[in-house]
Amino acid sequence: MKKEEMKFEDKMKILEQTINELESGEVDLEESIKKYTDAMKLVQECDKQLKEIEEQVSKIVLEDGTEQDFSIEREENTLD
């Protein structure tokens, strides 16, 4: 996930908050529509994020501080 974007966690928090606000019925119509539109965009963004982001490759931090791709199978084969 790109770091410059808002974190998924924060997006979910905003969504939850928005939904609670909308459900409270205390937001006026104009504001509701704006919040709703924004939140729907956010939902789609999150959904896209979940579906489109590729499976992450695990990394291992070696003793010298360098990072390498890591997979159990490879590790165990080299050790066996």
Partner 1 sequence: MDISKYLTVGALTRYLKMKFETDTHLRKVYLKGEISNFKAHTTGHYYFSIKDETSKINAIMFASNARKMKFIPKDGMKVLLMGRVSVYEATGNYQIYVEDMIEDGVGNLYVAFEQLKEKLSKEGLFDKKYKKPIPKYPEKIGIITAPTGAAIRDILSTIKRRYPICETILFPSLVQGDLAKDDLVKKIELAQNYDLDVLIVGRGGGSLEDMWPFNEECVARAIFASKVPVISAVGHEVDYTISDFVSDLRAPTPTGAAEMAVPHISELEEQLKQYQARMKEAMNKTINYQKIYFDSLKTSYVLKNPNAIYEPKKQQLDLTYEKLRTTVMNQLQQVKNEFIILKQSSILKKPNRLYESSEQQLKHVIDKLEMLNPLSILGRGYAISYQENHLVKKIEDVKVGELLQIRMQDGIVNTKVLSKEGLKS
Residue whose tokens read 């999150």: 46
CB of 50 to partner 1, least distance (A): 6
Q: Please list, in sequence order, all residues whose beta carbon lies within 8 angstroms of the beta carbon of residue 62, skipping any fewer than 6 positions away.
A: 68
CB-neighbour burial class of residue 14 (10 A; exposed 0-12, middle 13-18, buried 19+): middle
Residues engaged in binding partner 1 (CB under 8 A): 1, 3, 7-9, 12, 15-16, 18-19, 22-23, 25, 27, 29, 32-33, 36, 39-40, 43, 46-47, 49-51, 53-56, 58-62, 67, 70, 72, 75-76, 79
CB of 41 to partner 1, least distance (A): 11
